[in-house]
Each structure stands twice: as structure tokens, then as C-alpha cells.
A and B are shown apart, each in its own frame.
Chain A
Amino acid sequence: MGRAARIARRTFLIGSAAVAGGVAFGVWHLHRPAPNPLTAEAGASLNPFVIVDQSGTTIITPRAEMGQGIHTTLAALVAEELDLAWEDVRVLHGPPAQAYYNSALLRGEWRYHPEGLSGWQSALADTLGRVGKVMQLQVTGGSTSTLDGFVRLRMAGAAAREALKAAAAERLGVPVAELATQDGNVIGPDGTVIAYGELAEAAARVDPPAVTLRSPEEWRFLGRSMPRVDMLAKATGTAEYALDVRLPGMRFATVRMNPHLGGEMTGFDPEPALAMPGVERVIDLGTGIAVVARTTWEAMQAAEAVSVEWGPAPYPDTTEDMFDSIAAAFDTRRNSRRRNDGDADAALADAGTVIEAEYRVPFLHHATMEPMGAAALFTGARLELWSGNQAPVLHAEKAAEAVGLDPDRIVLHTPMMGGGFGRRAETDFTVLAARIAAEMPGTPILLTWSREEDFSHGFFRPAAIARMRGTVAEGRVTAFDAKVAAPSVTRQAMQRMSGFAPPGPDQGHVEGLADQPYRFGAYRVEGYLADLAVPVGFWRAVGNSFNGFFHESFVDELAHAAGADPLAFRLAHLDDPAARGVLEAVAEMSGWDGETEAGTGRGVAMTRSFGTPVAQVVEVIDDEGWIRISRAWVACDVGLALDPGIIRQQMEGGLIYGLSAAAMEEITFAGGRVEQKNFPDHDALRITGAPEIAVRILESGQHMGGVGEPATPPAMPALANAVFDLTGERIRELPLSRRLRFVA
């Protein structure tokens, strides 16, 4: 903790602001050195995380909830220091949380739903308008949220606690040192109980005190599995997703955009749609159409009735031709060589036998359970949006640009997300909702994509090819030589976000391949970027999702070539304690002895991504000619486990997501269009095909790793390696369902 505390003092200072009937606490993040940082002029900005008023204590989380449990863990960080009763914890990310990021609201211009604002929300807007706020790149992704909030949120909670105690000390006429805090109350030396809310106004006049964060030994919430703050709403159908937003006078919209992605629309005839009941508008969106109707279903029916002429896509027509483009990248100038230990060429030349293998993985779709969509209201002067998104500042900026408003005229709410997996970092659906709303000033609209539109208009995990060469001698890898080719997610995403694709080596392209903790005699990893205009984007674990499969499949091949047990072989090439620890854990959990019964196969894989090594053993059985994924064992080392229950959920979910992809998912193209339309064409594991899962969480304490993504990469090679163990056939192309039938 010592190091964390030093970082905190250097980077963050505590601040507070009076709000109506209460006080807001936050952390001032220094943007530049200043003699007195606690003034607006000095260039500091307040990120309030805690509001205390007569109605209780509200925790503002700066990150979006898409299922990963982040609201619960971020709330626990505040509550740990503030001594709240967990059942009283209230968490907001939606409209009020946006107050801290939206300058239009900061100037008190938010007048659309004044009745929906409590006193402190209105006042806070004014207060923050005075102190000023610098727009920040606020992104939920990269498994970074917990790390980001670890110090700041605890400091905000501690500051609030000490200010409330100071206010109580003044009221009771006793020293602060004689006061305690418990369950949302300050407790006096004589047992007097004062609720935080009663002290809130006075606490606003207290100078934010210097605080010392509690040590982990004192933690009551952190390190334990807390009840998720979103669970009651999600179990009762009352959690609000973007598609659930309903406003007076709302109209319901859908879109049909060019399925030749990136192509133009050369003509359309709206008349058949306009003649249908309930249909109000057919809107020309340039590369597609929107239909606005009385209900979503009527809009979807009518959208199908519009006859449209589509221009071609700027990429090859078929998946086969796309793979040819990807393969051609190997003949172009190398983009990166992010690892080059030893002399790979010499090692390969010296070896008697070089093991060579080519692997291929397909495009993949996120397939969130909630299709893309957003609600929007445009008034001419301003635009209000409700969009489940992973990057609010970016979404607001793109929407502003699309409707010709300054970004400070946008109010963006982030409701719960029905799955994100990286898809909702893209701004396309938010922009479309904004454009439809701009055509209908004063009328709130809800855009809902059909599932078919969602499948056919993705930002896909790129298809990729790896060419691997390796040599083994005396049970050890003497050369590991990997080349990977794929379209670049980094370049495409940066181009879309900023209009500029950074040149130079693309690190994300080889993540999961160049950065693994193994020690090989020679270890070389090269990246090649394919020139392919298929939209690709951030899919859970990003580059690790394909490179993990390449790396850990090939390590398995080398183990078998060396005549070694695949798990022991991995351990023999690892000195990183965390990576060794997770492999040893799954070996023990699964009773790994290198032997499997006839009709059963087991595979192992270990990848390290987002700072967290994860090892998995997957077991498959031959169920009358079908492959059933029967059991899985998962061990991760997250360093410091803030909420084991949520980490377990993410380990299970990440595993299932990877197993589904490896077993049966792919996006293919024909005639320039995505062929998969809906879940019958693109299934995923159901409860019937999901394995029994055991999870062990290790805490080596040497790092704080992410949890949302790291369980997905090892699932794919672990499954393929299990299939090899079962069948003796090394399948180097995903999905495995091209060759095998899986129980889904």
C-alpha cells in the first residue's frame, strides 16, 4: 500500500463542494503544477464520487456497467472508507454522473427534466460550473476500471468520512479522535448517533482534511463478495437499458443500413413503407434508411418493405478472398517485431526437424444480448441521448458532429448495457439515433436495431492467420517463431475515433503473442497488417483473442513434439511466479496427471492479458459422436482480489465467451454481405452445452490485473487442445464446428 499512497499524494488531492442540503466529495486531479491546486484557476478539476445529503449517501461511479460488476466494486471502494451499511449504498452512473463530464449541464443549461433533478443534482450542476471541468477521455474498457478507481474512490470516501466527523466534533463539542463512524452514522463518545445526512451541510464548510487510507487488514467490504448493487433491478426486470427508455410522445425507429459495409446507397423507394400502418417517416441516411413508426415492430416491418439499391463494399466479396488478402500481408513489409530473444534463424537452421503450422481464425461478432440502439431527443439547440456505451465523451462528440451542434450542447446518459464486449465503444448506433432525432425536432425517438441489422453491421474481431515455426531439443523449445497477419484493429479504431491512424508498430496486433511470460531458446514474434476494409473493432480481449489461440495451440504442438506432458512442458518454460502459480493451481484442481480415459480429452492453456495470467483446463467427452464440453477448471492471479464473487463471474463468463467462439462462432461474407443473420446462424453455448466450472482466484499481490477479458483468450486453445487429446487430430482452424459437432 505504501506505493499506492505515495502515488495518491503526488497525483490527487481531495476536494469538496457544497450542494443543496449537502456536500459532494471528490478528488482533484492536477492537470499542471500549481501553488494552490484547490482553486479552479490553478487548473484543477473536481471528480466528485460521493454526495451526502438529507436523503442519504450516493456514490457516483465514473465507469459504465455492462455486466462486469464494476458499479459494485467501485461502490465498495468508497463505502470501505466511508463506513456505509452496504444495503444503503446507492450508485449512479446515468444522468447525474454525466454531470461531471458534460459542460452544458455544468453551466446549468439542463432544463429538460427539471422535475427529475433532486436538489443536489441541480445545485451540483451550478457548483461544478463554477469550479470548471476538463473533459476527459472517459472509457470503460481494457479491464482497467478497478485499477483506475482503486486510490481515487477510497480517498473520496475517506475524505467524506473525516469531514463528517469534523462536523460532528464541532456539533458535539468533542475532539474528532473520540468519534467513530458506522453504517452511515457518526458515533459520539457517549453513544450519540448522528446520521451523515444531518451533518452534510456542516461538512460542506469543513476544509477537506488530509486522510490516510486504511490498510487491507482493516477492510470489511473489499476482498469480499459483495451483493451486486444492480442485482435486485436485474432480477425484477426494472433495470433500465437504453432500449427501455420511454419518454412522452416517443416514436420508435429502426434502420436498414447498407449491408455492403462502407458502401453507398444509390436509390430507394419509401412508398411501400409509408403506406403501412403506424409508419410516420422514412428518412434518407445516405448509406441507408431509417423508418420511424408508432411501434418498433411496425418500423421493422416497414424497413423491410423499402426497396433499396445498395452500392458495393470496399472489400472483397467473399471470406475466401478476404483470407487471401490477409495471407498476402505476409509478403508485405513487416509492421512489427515486438519480440526477438536469441537467434531464431540460427536455431531453426540448426535443428533437424522444424515444426511448422498455419492457424486461421474467423471474423467474430460481439452478439450482445441487447441489440444496438439508443434514444434521442433533439430540440434544435441541444441533443439529449440515452445510449449504453463504453466511451461517453467520444459518443457525445460524434453525435454532436453528426447533427451540427457543439459537443457542449449534448447531454449523454449511459444506462445499463445489455452486454458490451467492446462493441459499444463504437459510436455508430449513437450517431444514427442522433441523426434520426435531428430529423424530428421535439420528438423523442428510440432507435432499435433488428437482430439481423446487428449481426450484419458489426465491428468484428478480425480474421487472422498465424504462421508458426518451432524446434524442440531435450524437452525444451529451442526456437519459437511466430508471424501473424490480420487487419489492424488499432489503426481502424483510431481512424474512426480521431481521423488519424498512427503509423509504426501496432502493439495490439501482437498482444498475446509477443508479451507472454514464457522463456524459449529463441523467441521471435512479427506482425503483418492486412489491407482489408472490413470493419474490425475491439472484441473481448482484442488481439489476445486470436494470438492466445495461436500461441497456446503451438506450445501444445511443441510439447507433443517433445514427447512432454503439455502442462509440465509449460511449467518448464516459465519462471514467472504468477504464471506458474495459475498452471499449478489448475493442475491440482483438475487432478491433471496427463492421462485421460477413452472418450475423454483434456486440454490446458495459459495466457496473460491485461496483467492477469489465467490458466484453464478444459475437458471434452465424446457423446455419441457429438463433442460435449463437460468440465472446466480456471485459475487466475489478479494480484489483489477486490471482489471474489465478481471475479468468479468474469472468469466463468470469459471462459464461456471464448469456448462459444472457438466451438461454433464465425462471421463469413458472401457477395460482400455478412452471411449470419440471427442466432440460428450463429449460436453460442447454451446451458445444455456449458461445462461445470471451478474457479480459483490467486492473489500474488504483485500487480492488480483486469478481470473482464483475461479468461477469454485461453479458452479457445484449451478447447482445441482438449479436442486433440480426445481425437488425436490437431485442428488449426476455428471454429471447431467446421470439423466437429458440439453439444450446444
Chain B
Amino acid sequence: MAFTLRVNGQTHTVDLPGDMPLLWVLRDGLNLTGTKYGCGVAACGACTVHVDGAPVQSCQLALADVDGEVTTIEGLGTPEAPAPIQQAWIEHQVAQCGYCQSGQIMAAAALLAETPAPSDAEIEAAMALNLCRCGTYSAIRAAIRAAAARLQEA
């Protein structure tokens, strides 16, 4: 069955099962591979995207239930024009293997959109779903604090 969805400002029509998770629609249907598969059971956060700005674990959202504008890491910013949160990630040299970082960045971006000046507890609560096996948590905290501080200056 054909479904129409909006991803990163573009309209796509895909002929895929309605119960297929958005994660796989993005990765295998639309070749948007920045969103990662980590667990498939909403336990690692690697697949985090935004739907109408809210963080969503895309492995749990069925294609038929996608009701809103989807933003993936590719839509947040580009290598030529990274978003402020991505710039903070670069400045703080957060990534090691990098596989979880798309999800980390999407979770952080959603946090700052909702709470521009988060407390440390709010940062931890917002990022608790996102697992990183390389252990980049110190750098993630620092990058989010820096991005928040920059938002305050702006």
C-alpha cells in the first residue's frame, strides 16, 4: 500500500507495509541512512528522529501512524551547514565510533527546542534513553551545555 509522508521538507510516496517501522522506511525505503538501527525495541535511542519537533524512536512508529513532519539527522543540518547543536558536537569532539550520535544529537536538539536552558537533571532525563557504548557521555553533557549557553547569548 502506498503512503505519503513528509521527511526533511520533502514529500515522499512509498509502497511499503503500513506496519513497517519508520526507521526502516527511512533507511531502506528512502536511503536516509543517518538514522541508525541499534535494537528495534526502543532501548538504545540510535533511531531517534523528530516528528513535528518531538523526539521519537523511529523503530517504534509504524509507517501508517506517521502523522506529522519527520526530521532526520540529514534534515537537521548538513556538512556544509551544520545546525548549532551539530556545531557544538564538533567543537566538543563528542563522537568516537559515532554510530549512536545521530540519535544523541536528535534527542539533544529536541531537548533544547523545548527547554532552551536545561538543568543538568533535565539534560540527563532527556538523554537517558540514548545508549553510547563508547562512553562519550561527558562530552555529550558538555556539548549540550555549550549549545544551551549559545542559545542564551543569541
Give A residues with C-beta under 8 Å from B.
66-69, 225, 227-228, 230-241, 243-244, 246, 252, 277-278, 294-298, 300, 367-371, 416-421, 448, 450-451, 645, 649, 652-657, 660, 678-680, 683-688, 690, 692-693
**Complex contact B136–A296 (CB within 8 A):** no
Task: Indicate if B70 sits at the interface (CB-CB under 8 A).
Answer: no
B33 to chain A, nearest CB (A): 4
A233 to chain B, nearest CB (A): 7
**Complex contact B99–A653 (CB within 8 A):** no
A449 to chain B, nearest CB (A): 10
Contact of B90 among A231, A367, A420 (CB under 8 A): A231
**Complex contact A692–B138 (CB within 8 A):** yes
* Chain A residues within 8 Å of B89, by CB: 231, 235
**Complex contact B97–A450 (CB within 8 A):** no
**12 pairs, CB–CB < 8 Å, chain A vs chain B:** A231-B89, A233-B98, A234-B95, A235-B86, A236-B76, A237-B74, A246-B31, A298-B17, A418-B97, A652-B135, A679-B131, A685-B135
A268 to chain B, nearest CB (A): 23
- The chain B residue sitting closest to A419, CB to CB, is B97
B130 to chain A, nearest CB (A): 7
**Whole-angstrom distance between the alpha carbons of A241 and B99 in the complex?**
8
**Complex contact A297–B124 (CB within 8 A):** no
**Complex contact B138–A652 (CB within 8 A):** yes
Task: Indicate if B9 sits at the interface (CB-CB under 8 A).
Answer: no
Besides A417-B97, A685-B137, A687-B132, 13 new A-B residue pairs in contact (Cβ under 8 A), listed by A number: A67-B96, A231-B89, A231-B90, A231-B95, A240-B33, A297-B23, A369-B38, A369-B44, A370-B36, A657-B134, A679-B38, A687-B140, A690-B138
* Chain B residues within 8 Å of A231, by CB: 89-90, 93-95
Contact of A690 among B27, B31, B72, B135 (CB under 8 A): B135
* Cβ contacts B102-132/A at 8 Å (1 or 0 each): 1001000000000000000001110111111
**Whole-angstrom distance between the alpha carbons of A203 and B129 in the complex?**
54
8 closest A-B pairs by CB: A237-B34, A656-B135, A67-B97, A418-B99, A234-B98, A237-B73, A67-B96, A244-B33
* Chain B residues within 8 Å of A693, by CB: 138
**Whole-angstrom distance between the alpha carbons of A416 and B34 in the complex?**
13
Query: Given A228-B95, A418-B97: A67 and B131 within 8 A (CB)?
Result: no
* Chain A residues within 8 Å of B100, by CB: 369, 418
- The chain B residue sitting closest to A72, CB to CB, is B93
**Complex contact B128–A687 (CB within 8 A):** yes
**Complex contact B73–A228 (CB within 8 A):** no
Task: Indicate if B53 sits at the interface (CB-CB under 8 A).
Answer: no
* Chain A residues within 8 Å of B72, by CB: 237
Chain B facing A: main interface SS:
loop
* Chain A residues within 8 Å of B105, by CB: 235
Contact of A235 among B95, B123, B127, B130 (CB under 8 A): B95
- The chain A residue sitting closest to B126, CB to CB, is A687
* Cβ contacts B14-42/A at 8 Å (1 or 0 each): 00110011011001110101111111110
* Chain B residues within 8 Å of A371, by CB: 37-38
Most chain A CB neighbours (cut-off 10 Å) among B38, B82, B130, B134: B134
Contact of A233 among B79, B124, B135 (CB under 8 A): B79
Query: Given A369-B44, A652-B135, A686-B128: A232 and B97 within 8 A (CB)?
Result: no
**Complex contact B28–A295 (CB within 8 A):** yes
* Chain B residues within 8 Å of A232, by CB: 79, 82, 90
* Chain B residues within 8 Å of A297, by CB: 20-21, 23-24, 28
**Whole-angstrom distance between the alpha carbons of A418 and B34 in the complex?**
12
Task: Indicate if B151 sits at the interface (CB-CB under 8 A).
Answer: no
- The chain A residue sitting closest to B135, CB to CB, is A656
**Complex contact B135–A653 (CB within 8 A):** yes
**Whole-angstrom distance between the alpha carbons of A371 and B33 in the complex?**
14
Query: Given A66-B97, A295-B24, A296-B37: A236 and B78 within 8 A (CB)?
Result: yes
Query: Given A237-B34, A277-B17: A230 and B95 within 8 A (CB)?
Result: yes
Query: Given A297-B20, A451-B41, A679-B39: A238 and B97 within 8 A (CB)?
Result: no
**Whole-angstrom distance between the alpha carbons of A653 and B72 in the complex?**
27
Task: Indicate if B68 sits at the interface (CB-CB under 8 A).
Answer: no
Most chain B CB neighbours (cut-off 10 Å) among A418, A420, A687: A687
Query: Given A297-B28, A298-B20: A227 and B93 within 8 A (CB)?
Result: yes
**Whole-angstrom distance between the alpha carbons of A367 and B46 in the complex?**
14
**Complex contact A655–B135 (CB within 8 A):** yes
- The chain B residue sitting closest to A366, CB to CB, is B133
Contact of A419 among B27, B130, B133 (CB under 8 A): B133
Contact of B141 among A367, A686, A687 (CB under 8 A): A687
B141 to chain A, nearest CB (A): 7
**Complex contact A369–B102 (CB within 8 A):** no
**Complex contact A238–B34 (CB within 8 A):** yes
**Complex contact A68–B28 (CB within 8 A):** no
**Whole-angstrom distance between the alpha carbons of A238 and B102 in the complex?**
9
